[in-house]
Chains A and B, each alone.
Chain A
Amino acid sequence: SYELTQPPSVSVSPGQTATITCSGDKLGDKYACWYQQKPGQSPVLVIYQDAKRPSGIPERFSGSTSGNTATLTISGTQAMDEADYYCQAWDSSTVLFGGGTKLTVL
């Protein structure tokens, strides 16, 4: 079955750039999106169609894809960005989520 693989954790210092990857077979042939989930809250869409930001999402959030890897980049990371991040793709009429990455802002 199709799987999306994310690193379990990523750490970043405030003000630095955080990079979270999501890899999957032929992911480059599909669109990827990203959700942010803070403790006790519902997920929030932060990137869709690989690189588009929904209204209200800060410009420091960006997305890209290359080959079989989608990447979420947070530039100038702030303490408020500490959260779990999930990638998601659509394959054969099925929604797939990555396992999630816990972003820690040290």
Chain B
Amino acid sequence: QVQLVQSGAEVKKPGTSVKVSCKASGYTFTGYGISWVRQAPGQGLEWMGWISVYNGNTNYAQKLQGRVTMTTDTSTRSAYMELRSLRSDDTALYFCARGVAVADEYYFDYWGQGTLVTVSS
């Protein structure tokens, strides 16, 4: 069965960086993209960007351009999201999700369990 298992919770100080991992199993890793979505406490879902596992192409949300980097390692079937220059408003639950691209649609059929990142001095 398809599973996305994320790394554990992180507590970071403002100005530092965090790198969250997402290990995939149960499907052909290179056949799908991976997106990262975050959710601040009590708030809605915010798309951060996606990466093509097949060729490494990325597209980041404009709001996060310059602070986020998404990568994958096909040898370990893992995806990574690094966010730099952390601020208190980056405190959120971070999800990885498997992206399905069909015609003019892109949706997420499987999600990781979420990784809580807390930014606090």
Contact = CB atoms under 8 A, between A and B. Distances in A.
A90 B59 contact: no
Interface in A52-106: 54, 84, 86, 88, 90, 93-100
Given A94-B59, A97-B44, A45 B113 contact: no
Interface string B20-56: 0000000000000001010000001111001000000
B80 interface: no
A95 B111 contact: no
Interface residues of A, number: 24
Looking at chain B's contact residues, is the secondary structure mostly helix, strand, loop, or mixed? strand
* Interface size, B (range): 20 to 34
Contacts of A90: 104-107
Nearest to B112: A42
A35 B109 CA distance: 9
A42 B38 CA distance: 11
Given A94-B47, A97-B45, A99-B44, A43 B104 contact: no
A25 B105 CA distance: 16
